[in-house]
Each structure stands twice: as C-alpha cells, then as structure tokens.
Amino acid sequence: MHVIVVGLSHKTAPVEVREKLAVPESRLGEALGRLCSYSGVKEGVLLSTCNRVEVYSVVEDVEEGYARIQEFLADTHLSLSSEQLTPHLYWHTGDRAIAHLFRVAASLDSMIIGESQILGQLKNAFEVALAHKTTGVIMNKVVKKAISVAKRVRTETKISEMAVSVSYAAVELAKKIFSNLDEKTVLLVGAGEMAKLAARHLIAQGVHQVRITTRTPQHAIDLAEQFGGMPVPFDQFKDEMAAADIVLVSTGAAHYLIGAEDVQRAVDKRGNRPMFLIDISVPRNIDPAVRHVDNAFLFDIDDLKQRVEQNRAERLQEAEKAERMVVEEVGATLEWMKALEVTPTIVALRSRVDEIKQVEVEKVMSRLAHLSQQDRELVEGMASSIVNKLIHRTMVTLKAEVNSSNGPAFVEAARRFFHLDQSSTHSSEEEDRESRLRYLSPDPVESAHEEPEASVRKRAG
C-alpha cells in the first residue's frame, strides 16, 4: 500500500480554478464515498479550503492511484477536464506525501505561514472521513500524526506568536502598551476595513467598549450595532477621546483630523493615563506631532507594516525549526509504516507454526491416550516451547531488519521458507511420516545440543 496526495493550492492554481474544485462541507461525505469507489483507492481524506483542494489517499498502485484521483477531481466539476486540471496539480507519494501533509497541518505551506485556521480545517476533514468510514489503519495514523506535528510546532516554536497582518499588528502593539486589554475602551473614527478588522481583534482580546463615529450618522449607528458599541456624533468625537484608551482612525479625509493639542487635552483629562493611537489612514489623519505628547503612543500605517515585515522574517526563522521537526516526524512515521508491512508476515508465521504444532500434538495425543491431563499439558507445553524457540530468531530478525534496505528481502525469505503464501491446513504424507519418527524416536544428539530457553532470550535481547 502507498500513501499519496494529489491536489492544488494557491501556489499552483488561480482562485477561479480553486473555487470550481472546492467541495462544500455538506457534500464532503458524498464526495468521499465516490472517491473510495474508484479501483485501487483504499482510503481517502478530502481537504477543501479557500486556498487548497487536496486528496490524501492510500492506494494499491501509485500511478493508477494518481490517475484515479485526477479523474475524481475532474468529475467534481464537469466544466474542468483532466487536461485543463493537470497543469495546476501536484503529486506526491511516500515520504514526500507524508511530509506535505505535515507541512500543511503545521501551516508551513499556507499563504500566511503560522496561521492557525488550517489545522482546524484538517481536523474537520478528518472527522468527516471517519464518520463516512473512508479511512483505515494507515490514513488514521498518518493524519493523527500530522495533527500531533502541528501541535508540536506551535508548542516548540514561536511561528504563530507574531502578527503578520496590519490589523493584528495594531493589537499586538496595544498589548505591549497596556499588557492587558480587559476593560479597555476603543474609539473607532471612520469605517476603513483594516480599522474595523483591528477593532474586531481588540474585542476578541478583551476590549470592553467600542465607540464609533463616522461622517454619516446612520453608518455609525449601523456599525455600533454590529460591534455592540455606541455611536458618537462626528463633531463630538474629540470630546470623547478622553474616555478612550485606544483610538483607531481610518477615514478618507485628506488632512489631519486630530492634532497634538487635541491629544494633549485628552491625556490631561485622563490624569496622564496612557493613550494608544493608531492611524491607518492614507493620507494620515493624525498629526505626527502627537508623538511628542507624553503618555500618547502613536503608530501609523508604515509603523504597522514595518512591524509586520519584522514579524514575518522572525516567523520564517521559526519555520526553519518547524521544517526540521517535520523531517524528524516523517522518519518516525515511515518506520511505523515499514513495521506495518512486516506485521502480516509475522502474524502469518505465528499462525502457520501454531497450526503445525496443533496438528502434530493431536496426532501424538491420539496414540498416548493413557496420559493424564497433567502429562498432556506437559507435552503440549513442550511442543509450544520448541515452536517458540524455532521461530524466535526469525521474529527478532524480521522486526530488526524491517527498516533496513534489506527489509523486503528478509520478509520475502521468511514467507518462502515457511510457505506462508500457501494453504497449510494439513501436513503432507511425508511430513506425517517424519513427524511420527521424530516423536517416537527423538534424536539424542539434537536433544543434547538444544539451547536453554533462558539463553535464547538473553541473546535475543
């Protein structure tokens, strides 16, 4: 079995292609059922977001799996043929597929590195797959490990701690000035999108009250309802500044709306408690001279963008640490998958020898009907001990070599030596004759050289 991924993202496809392939959550179950109906596709998870559409699957044959999943994606939107789709797709298998999933989960492949939304989207996609029973042992393990890797990256790096948007950079700076935003009051002057987004972030961080003013009174009333705040007449907002801990300004005015004397008056009324002013307007609406007012902290759009660029550079440094974690975790997952490959052989070997043992014990017992129950248990125990000793070294070797380059050769050898690919319900007549001779006339030389069980365990360990 092979783990593969086929998909496209913001890196390979424009939004007009991504939106055609996007699968709404209400249709995910149906899409997954259709995916796993394709020949050779054994397991599947479908991750569909605004920035990517990806199919993670376990398939019998890699090339056939690629073809079937590409066919599935084309069938998702009939207006896109496979030929139109192919230039935008990427294909990965094995360690590259697993590494890609881990990087996606850890937001290393996101448009904004370190964003947290993608992990929740992956969890939702996995839950839908589980609910529709389109995953199995392999995909369950790989996706759970991806979620674990993402959590490790967030715990052991600072990749998500530094703002990389202008609106959130404003919040980050506000938290540096006030340390705690609980019970703080925001005055929003104007209705620019970045200012409104910053206001939402501030409210999410504990800001208590929002006061809003615009040149259009009804617009201020509508925004106040949206934010759960209070409208303020535009010609009175300077009087309200004294009650505001944070002033966000974003209007289309071509001149300064707030001067140094306005801020000085507000700070005096506040008893010199600090005031944080953010001017996201272009042209600027707050006079830069405000920076000279004690206890007034002014930042304009350039200050915020500089902060964002600094944080973005720091995130990239943290991303390098995260990439090393991904490599480490991919290695551990591949070892697990290789061990999984040898498991059927070990199970078959144990089943094979247990079957042979049981057949031979029953033959002996039928000829030794006079034995007591205790003696019968001793005979069966001896048979089990012999079998365990005979296959012990094989079992140890298979487990030890599974991750080596010769691992597949050892597995194949074990299957051939013990005839694990053949039916083993009854011994042949030759085996029958030899086993009778062995039990009735044990070889004294072989018995003399038999290695004690404790010694076998010691060397195997």
Question: What is the CATH number for 279?
Answer: 3.40.50.720
**Beta carbons of 338 and 413 less than 8 angstroms apart:** no
Question: What is the CATH number for 65?
Answer: 3.30.460.30
The residues near 138 (Cβ < 8 Å, ≥ 6 apart) are: 1, 3, 43, 58, 337, 340
In a domain, 338, yes or no: yes
The structural domain count of the chain equals 3
pLDDT of residue 368: 85
**Residues 343, 423 within the same domain:** yes
Residues in the chain, total? 461
pLDDT of residue 345: 76
In a domain, 171, yes or no: yes
**Residues 110, 258 within the same domain:** no
**Residues 57, 136 within the same domain:** yes
**Residues 60, 152 within the same domain:** yes
**Residues 63, 91 within the same domain:** yes
pLDDT tens per residue, the chain (461 residues)? 899 999 999 999 998 888 888 888 888 999 999 999 999 999 999 999 989 999 999 998 999 999 999 999 988 776 777 788 899 999 999 999 999 999 999 999 988 888 888 999 999 999 999 999 999 989 999 999 999 999 999 999 988 876 677 777 888 888 888 888 888 999 999 987 877 888 888 888 888 889 999 999 999 999 889 888 999 999 999 999 999 999 999 888 889 999 999 999 999 999 999 999 999 888 899 999 999 999 999 999 899 888 888 888 888 889 999 999 999 999 888 888 777 667 777 788 888 888 888 888 888 888 888 888 898 889 888 988 988 888 888 878 777 776 666 666 777 777 787 777 754 444 444 444 443 334 333 333 333 333 433 333 333 33
**Residues 93, 180 within the same domain:** no
**Residues 156, 172 within the same domain:** no
CA distance 83 to 24: 24
- Using DSSP, state whether 408 is helix, strand or coil: helix
**Residues 222, 305 within the same domain:** yes
Residue type, 50: C
pLDDT of residue 407: 66
Which one of 136, 160, 184 terminates a domain?
Answer: 160
**Residues 196, 231 within the same domain:** yes
* 409: its two tokens: 């050769």
Identify the residue whose tokens are 């389109």: 134
Chain center to CA of 321 = 16
**Residues 151, 172 within the same domain:** no
Which one of 160, 181, 211 terminates a domain?
Answer: 160
CA distance 307 to 316: 14
Which one of 251, 274, 309 terminates a domain?
Answer: 309
Annotated catalytic residues are 50
In a domain, 46, yes or no: yes
**Beta carbons of 345 and 398 less than 8 angstroms apart:** yes
Q: Which uninterrupted H or E stretch holds 346?
A: helix 301-367
pLDDT of residue 261: 96
In a domain, 247, yes or no: yes
CA-based nearest residue to 282, from 252, 246, 309: 252
Range of the domain at 417: 329-460
In a domain, 315, yes or no: no
In a domain, 368, yes or no: yes
In a domain, 130, yes or no: yes
Q: Hey, which residues does 297 pair with through a beta bridge?
A: 276
pLDDT of residue 87: 92
**403 secondary structure, DSSP code:** T
**Residues 292, 255 within the same domain:** yes
For the chain, the straight-line distance linking the first and the last C-alpha, in angstroms and rounded, comes to 31
CA-angle at 114, arms to 24 and 145, nearest 5°: 70
In a domain, 321, yes or no: no
**Residues 347, 290 within the same domain:** no
CA-based nearest residue to 207, from 186, 231, 232, 229: 186
Q: Which uninterrupted H or E stretch holds 72?
A: helix 62-76
CA distance 201 to 73: 37
CA distance 382 to 364: 12
